[in-house]
Amino acid sequence: MSFSAVSVRRTSLRRHRFYESNRRYGLALALLIGVALVAALGFQQQTAAAAPSGLPEGFVCVAREGYLTLYVRPVDGQIAVEDGRSAVLWMSNPVGVEMDTLSDAWRGNIVSPFYFEYSDESRNVRIGNLATGGAAVSYEPIDRGARMHYSFSNLGIAFAMEYELEEDCLVVTIPWSSVVANATIEASLGRTTADDSVAKSILQGPKRARAQNLFLLTIRPLPFLGAALSTQENGYMLVPDGSGGLIRFKEDHPLYQGGFQQWIYGYDPASADVTYDIYREPVALPVFGMKIGDRAFLAVVEDGSCHAEILAMPSGVSTDLNWTTVQFWYRTTARLRTARQGQGIKVYDEKVIPGDRRVRYYFLNGDEADYVGMARAYRAYLMKHQGATKLPESDVLASSESAPVLIRLFCADYESGLLGRTLRPMTTFEQAKTVIEALRAAGVSEMVVALEGWNRGGAHADLPQRLPAERALGGDRALKDLAEYLRTLGIPLILQDDYLVARGSKGGFNPRTQASRTAFNDVIEFRPESAPDQVGLSTGYLISPRHVMDFASRDLPKIAELGAAGIALKSLGSVLSSDQNKDIDPRLTRDRSATVAKELLALAQSLFPIVGVRTGNAYTLGLIDLVYHMPMECTRDIYMDESVPFYQIATHGLLVPFDKDRNLSSNPERDFLRGIEYGVLPCFVLTAEPSWRLRYTPSSHLFSTNYEDWIDEVSRQFQAVSAVLGPVLDQFIVGHRMVARGVYETTYEDGTAIVVNYTADTYIDDRVEVPARWFAVIRGGNR
């Protein structure tokens, strides 16, 4: 019987009468951390504020900022945040949850403001929390909050958690200066001093006070903030899977084997983790959230997001609670193969990943307490903290009342065989003019043209040798002529390029010294997915972040001289890799790779009016003008209930969004309607030559691209979409809801509402009539 067919009503775990926190267990915990009582007694005198209703004993007020008040319990570091707008009290740990059916480890987790994982002497993963033997807790007041120090001398592990109120949010930080991940190793490496006094006491203490060979692996801060039972009405967890996904609270549900646990920005190719599902939708944003009735929170992971996973566990996985958090990693993980078959064993690098870890929590109420309010809060965050700005009316991509369609012209690739390579030109620069004229004659008046495979050797050439433009397509002169031709028509020309990928060992690239390496010091290699066993293909490599800017600064200024209006950097917005080369110190972490990506985007901005990326990972936002192949749905896991346009709501009006290639879609009608619902513009990949010419190339996945086959469909979608989305292209999305089963409404800040009907029946309400599988627009109250 399949898991999806098994429905379990977990009445043995859910009881509708609750108790106060397990007194016997709480007493044991208090004895373990009794040293903190002295600090608590002294701190009680610092606040004269009356405690809010529902706040357990022992909490004291440590900060007020705007409408938020922060309370901390010094004996263990549990916190509570009061939202003065609605008198809502957010507790870091659930109150009144029955724990009779839980293991000792999970009892400790639920009453602890954190829990962590560490590896023991046998490389087994263990869980630590405040109930772990030897835990010592101390409290320290700081500006606008408090710092809690946690020391586990028997494990050789220590860290601090800082809680601060900052304007309209709570900021939780694990300072790197406070972290001792393994006292024995760090002391042997010479790290005998630290800014944090608790960390220093462990590092400088006697060996008998240090741990055996134990390693801190992860920390989960405030894992049960807002945790709720499934009896809560209208509740769900938001996860950043694809466009965004909701995991609703459910008393009756399938049998879950686990919950959502995915790396922010996807897996690290250097981890060599063969268990990662490459077919999942991307996790492009470092956010998570929860809605409980008429209140909600959004969490934004800041420092440490490149080495973190988002977790969302529905009721029935380990506990009866729905809870979501971030898991920060302090060690690089990798899979060590022990045989041709099987998953191998997971191993951990001894070197610690340095840096602060930080999460920012925004609290929402009333009408704002849903995924739309969360997305709007994240949009405000992008504008305040990442420099994102609203599209100006003069923007080259959004200055018209008609929305453009993205035409990706695939230019060339090669066949390989025993006698060498044979180039297959698919769209020469002169043929590109013919395709564009045919589209204009069919009524496609607004478009953006992007060229893929324009470079020397075509799409899968031996990068980073990309210049001059491929001679068989017309060379540099013909490309400049095409750029000038499009400029006279008011059509932007964008060249697609990739500075994270190299192929072969030509063009000044040396894989031994310039390619990224795994945790086992192996060079990261890959082959095209559509032709992995084809003879004569060059091996692909990931360029080490140390050398990315060398090639970019060498070639981008020369590409700008070709006259293109923009550059689209393919992998930069979708791939984030570390370089674990053991021969170079320090190793390059994913944080450093994200910094290099920003440096590359800044260089591109200085050379081109338009800069775009594929997918659009969060670290690129604020530095780009467009995203193509934008995530449009979530992964259909058994615990995922529905896709929502969180990404689109957060970014619409900040950049120009384009869909995946519609002519390669397995469900083109659905994708057409979803693009209208989400405010995302169509994209087509076309060629002048028939697509069968690509059947023996690495681009054989482009199975239907001839422009003559698609010109009518491109025109139809442009005519349908352009007048609808053009006027709102620079507008923020302020509302999204399901008005009926299979019928959705998206609202923009100027009052425009677009109603999309996915069903086979006409939808009618008092405002609008929407035909089956179509849409309608309401402007100013008029249909």
- Reported as a single tens digit per residue, the pLDDT across 471-525 is 999 999 999 999 999 999 999 999 999 999 998 776 678 999 899 998 778 898 8
pLDDT of the residue at 32: 41
| Residue 173: other Cβ atoms inside 10 A | 22
pLDDT of the residue at 459: 92
pLDDT > 70: percent of the chain: 83
Q: pLDDT grade, residue 188 (50/70/90)?
A: very low
pLDDT of the residue at 280: 86
Instruction: Give the mean pLDDT of 185-191.
Output: 50
Instruction: Give the mean pLDDT of 266-289.
Output: 82
- Distance, in Å, from the CA atom of 534 to the CA atom of 415, rounded to the nearest integer, reads 9
Which of 452-461, 511-520, 642-651 is least confident? 511-520
- Distance, in Å, from the CA atom of 747 to the CA atom of 522, rounded to the nearest integer, reads 50
Q: pLDDT grade, residue 186 (50/70/90)?
A: low
773 versus 520: the higher-pLDDT residue is 773
Q: pLDDT grade, residue 39 (50/70/90)?
A: very low
How would you class 719 by CB atoms within 10 Å of its CB: exposed for 0-12, middle for 13-18, buried for 19 or more?
Answer: middle
Q: Name the DSSP letter for residue 529.
A: T
Q: pLDDT grade, residue 528 (50/70/90)?
A: low
143 versus 394: the higher-pLDDT residue is 143
pLDDT of the residue at 209: 43
341 versus 241: the higher-pLDDT residue is 241
Q: Name the DSSP letter for residue 353.
A: -
pLDDT of the residue at 34: 44
- Distance, in Å, from the CA atom of 76 to the CA atom of 148, rounded to the nearest integer, reads 8
Instruction: Give the mean pLDDT of 753-769.
Output: 95
pTM, to two decimals: 0.90
- Cβ distance 572 to 499 under 8 Å? yes
Question: 624: which 2 tokens?
Answer: 């780009």
Mean pLDDT, all residues of the chain: 86
Is the confidence at residue 181, as pLDDT, over 90?
A: no
- Distance, in Å, from the CA atom of 153 to the CA atom of 157, rounded to the nearest integer, reads 6
| Residue 585: other Cβ atoms inside 10 A | 7
603 versus 253: the higher-pLDDT residue is 603
pLDDT of the residue at 781: 57
pLDDT in tens, 356-367: 999 999 999 999
Is the confidence at residue 677, as pLDDT, over 90?
A: yes
Q: Enumerate residues 6+ apart whose C-beta is below 8 A from 144.
A: 63, 65, 164, 165, 166
Which of 8-17, 118-127, 298-307 is least confident? 8-17
- Distance, in Å, from the CA atom of 316 to the CA atom of 183, rounded to the nearest integer, reads 37
120-129, 409-418, 703-712: which is most confident: 703-712
Is the confidence at residue 35, as pLDDT, over 60?
A: no
Is the confidence at residue 275, as pLDDT, over 80?
A: no
pLDDT in tens, 738-755: 999 999 999 999 999 999
Is the confidence at residue 108, as pLDDT, over 90?
A: no
The identity of residue 443, as a single letter, is G
pLDDT of the residue at 52: 77
pLDDT of the residue at 638: 84
- Distance, in Å, from the CA atom of 83 to the CA atom of 62, rounded to the nearest integer, reads 14
Half-sphere exposure of 309 (CA within 13 A, CB side): 21
- Cβ distance 10 to 316 under 8 Å? yes
